[in-house]
Amino acid sequence: MKAATIIIAIILLLPTSQQSSAGMERKVLSYNPTYEFWFFMPTGRPDDVPQTVKDVYWKTKSVCYTDFWFHCESGKAIV
């Protein structure tokens, strides 16, 4: 019984321990073609999406933002 409790506790605590400690929320860029606007997942809308970021989004569909734009998978900045 103790082993099962420990395993469950580890499973529940593991996702929180892997979160970024920087305190900055990573926002994933998305596009709504019906209403033609850009938005962030989970919430929010960007003030401006530079053309270079739009180009990368259309190629990879993987653009993120914290305080700068970057590729979600590789973490490389988009300039």
Contact 52, 78 (CB under 8 A): yes
With tokens 């929180």, the residue in question is 16
User: pLDDT 10s digit of each residue in the chain, 79 long?
Assistant: 777 777 776 666 655 444 444 567 899 999 999 999 999 998 999 999 999 999 999 999 999 999 999 999 999 999 8
d(CA 9, CA 60): 37
Q: Where are the domains of the chain?
A: 21-79
> Largest Cα–Cα distance of the chain, in whole Å?
57
